[in-house]
């Protein structure tokens, strides 16, 4: 989980700082490792850039899957019209605690005391962990049922859990579920949906398992009849999509926000090279931008995270608001000179490019620190053998 990664990073940093105090020559070793990781040494490859780009791709692919669910289950879709199931929430409970295990979507029905949690997975490198995550998320949903009833208007006391994977991962997912069935005999099954984009865009319920019957693999509701056989062709439903979700990758959030913000200033009196924190929050809070039932609460958090990173990367700086005609309580920012441009598209392109550069650079530095610590510790354990 992101929290664990941050914690181990902080520990490594602490050890590294201690090491440097006594053996400053490790600083050079860190630089060597960093250069290697960034492909700046002969024969090396920029593996950090590859990792960052892969993370961006994975994030975007995940959002595509979530959008498919939102498109299949909104009040204009055929599936909602015929089955009565609709999306009640996307990334629910994010506003309570972003680190809490939560599903990607919850579906509700006006005549059922049940919700369906949907977890979209673009990859399953640790299948049993993935299933555990789904069960944990469903427990949290049940634990917050009163709160969610207030937010969504839907009362429920039961949950059905869905794992949704791209079509090419169906075998891996099936084996994981079969293993869980075999080893733990869970009372509540995890259902498997597959998302197909080869020559189509389709959602299907998978019912063929070794360790459980087709009946047990089908939902206890009319949804099964719509999702079995050919399933649902999502591409024929209205596209239901804002610009991003609360857990979208930060570059996607940046791309969209920091096109809209300078663009909206193009025709106004304000400088296109400045913006306020309030503007950022207002745009995130707009349901056309971000799909969530608690937009307002999440907007501030996402805004502050993003602005803090942008400041940290030296892409923006804070200005004195009163010098620019704003009241003193306004948080005003400018783009630093390294972010060139007087048009929305130029500013956005430059921001995205520099943000990514800094992200890669920072990640390489952190990885180099970890590797230095690992090498140092190895050296220490070698000595202790004596």
Partner 1 sequence: MELFEVDQDSFEDLPEFNDYLSGQESPIDDDLHIVSGLSQYSEAEFLDVLLARGFEAEDYGDVTRLEKEYTYGGDDYTAGFYLHYHGSENGEGGVVLLYTNQRKTKEIKHTVKNIFESEHGLYYLHVGPRLFQIVREEVLQNEEYAEIVEFVADRSKDSDRPSRIRPEFKRTIRYFGDDGWEALREMEENYGVRPRYLKFNIPNDASFKIARDGVFSLVDGRLSTLFNYVQVCIQEGMAIKQAFDSSDFEMVNNTENLSIPTAEPAVIELNSELQYDQLGNIKSRMDDEDYFIVDSFGQEGSVHFSSKVYDKQKENTFRLKATDDTIRVFPQEEEGDLGSFLRFHEFVQNHIDPGAEAIPP
Instruction: Please give the residue ranges that form the binding site for partner 1 (CB under 8 A).
Output: 60-61, 63-64, 70-71, 74-76, 86-90, 108, 151-154, 197-201, 235, 238-243, 252, 255-256, 259, 263, 287-288, 291-294, 344-345, 348
Write out the DSSP string of 314-348.
Answer: TSEEEE-GGGGT--TT--EEEE-TTS--SSHHHHH
Considering the complex, what minimum distance in angstroms separates the CB of residue 35 from partner 1?
29
Give the integer Cα–Cα distance in Å for 296 and 294. 6
- What is d(CA 163, CA 24) in angstroms, rounded to the nearest whole number? 50
Gap between the Cα atoms of 165 and 192, Å rounded: 8
Nearer to partner 1, 196 or 370 (CB): 196
Instruction: Please say which residue, 299 or 332, places its beta carbon nearer to partner 1.
Output: 299
The CB-of-78 to partner 1 minimum distance in angstroms stands at 12
Q: How far is the CB of 57 from partner 1 (least distance, A)?
A: 8
Query: Which one, 148 or 368, has the nearer CB to partner 1?
Result: 148
Q: How far is the CB of 14 from partner 1 (least distance, A)?
A: 38
* Contact (CB, 8 A) for 292 and 95: yes
Q: Measured from the CB atom, is 189 or 246 closer to partner 1?
A: 246
Contact 244, 290 (CB under 8 A): yes
How many CB atoms are closer than 10 A to CB 340? Answer: 14
Cβ closer to partner 1: 283 or 369?
283
Tell me the closest approach of the beta carbon of residue 199 to partner 1, in angstroms. 5
Long-range contacts of 334-337 (CB under 8 A, 24+ apart): 334/271, 334/273, 334/274, 335/273, 335/274
**HSE-CB of 38 using CA atoms within 13 angstroms:** 18
**Nearer of residues 217 and 256 to partner 1, judged by Cβ:** 256
The distance of closest approach from Cβ of residue 162 to partner 1 in the complex, given in angstroms and rounded to an integer, is: 18
CB of 330 to partner 1, least distance (A): 27
**Dist CA 339 CA 349 (whole Å):** 9
What contacts 356, CB < 8 A, 6 or more positions away? 52, 251
Closer of 201 and 367 to partner 1 (Cβ): 201
**Best CA proximity match to 119, nearest among 138, 103, 107, 97:** 103
Provide, rounded to whole angstroms, the least separation between the CB of residue 371 and partner 1.
32
Least distance (Å) between residue 169 CB and partner 1 = 13
Give the full edge-to-edge strand order of the sheet including 316-319. 274-276, 332-335, 316-319
Q: Which is nearer to partner 1, 130 or 344 (CB)?
A: 344
Q: What are the C-alpha distances in Å from 288 to residues 21, 240, 266, 332, 346?
A: 52, 10, 20, 24, 23
CB of 366 to partner 1, least distance (A): 27
Distances (CA, A) of 349 to 233, 258, 315: 35, 9, 13
249 C-beta neighbours (distance < 10 Å), count? 18
Closer residue to partner 1, CB minimum distance, 123 or 153: 153
Nearest residue (CB) to partner 1, 254 versus 332: 254
Task: Please tell me the distance from the alpha carbon of residue 331 to that of residue 310, in angstroms, as a whole number.
Answer: 14
């Amino acid at each position: 989980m992101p929290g664990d990664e941050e914690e181990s990073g902080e520990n490594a940093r602490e050890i590294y700082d201690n090491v440097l105090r006594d053996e400053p020559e490790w600083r050079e070793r860190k630089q060597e490792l960093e250069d290697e990781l960034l492909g700046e040494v002969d024969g090396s490859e920029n593996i950090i850039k590859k990792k960052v780009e892969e993370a961006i791709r994975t994030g975007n692919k995940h959002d595509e899957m979530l959008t498919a669910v939102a498109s299949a289950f909104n009040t204009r879709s055929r599936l909602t019209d015929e089955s009565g199931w609709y999306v009640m929430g996307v990334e629910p409970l994010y506003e309570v605690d972003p680190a809490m295990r939560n599903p990607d979507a919850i579906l509700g029905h006006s005549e059922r005391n049940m919700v369906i949690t949907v977890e979209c997975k673009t990859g399953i490198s640790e299948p049993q962990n993935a299933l555990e995550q789904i069960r944990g998320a469903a427990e949290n949903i049940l634990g917050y049922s009163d709160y969610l009833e207030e937010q969504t208007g839907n009362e429920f006391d039961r949950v059905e859990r869905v794992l949704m994977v791209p079509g090419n991962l169906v075998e891996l997912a099936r084996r994981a579920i079969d293993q869980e069935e075999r080893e733990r005999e869970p009372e509540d099954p995890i259902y498997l949906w597959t998302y197909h984009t080869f020559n189509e865009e389709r959602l299907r319920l998978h019912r063929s398992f070794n360790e459980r019957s087709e009946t047990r693999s089908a939902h206890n509701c009319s949804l099964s009849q719509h999702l079995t056989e050919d399933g649902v062709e999502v591409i024929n439903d209205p596209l239901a999509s804002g610009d991003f979700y609360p857990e979208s990758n930060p570059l996607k959030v940046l791309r969209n926000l920091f096109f809209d913000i300078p663009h909206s200033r193009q025709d106004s009196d304000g400088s296109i090279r400045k913006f306020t924190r309030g503007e950022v929050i207002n745009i995130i809070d707009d349901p056309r931008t971000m799909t969530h039932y608690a937009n307002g609460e999440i907007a501030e958090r996402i805004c502050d995270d993003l602005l803090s990173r942008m400041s940290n990367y030296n892409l923006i700086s804070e200005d004195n608001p009163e010098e620019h005609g704003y009241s003193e309580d306004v948080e005003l920012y400018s783009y630093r000179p390294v972010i060139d441009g007087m048009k929305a598209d130029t500013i956005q392109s430059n921001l995205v490019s520099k943000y990514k550069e800094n992200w890669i650079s920072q990640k390489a530095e952190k990885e180099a620190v970890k590797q230095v610590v690992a090498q140092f510790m190895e050296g220490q354990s070698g000595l202790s053998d004596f």
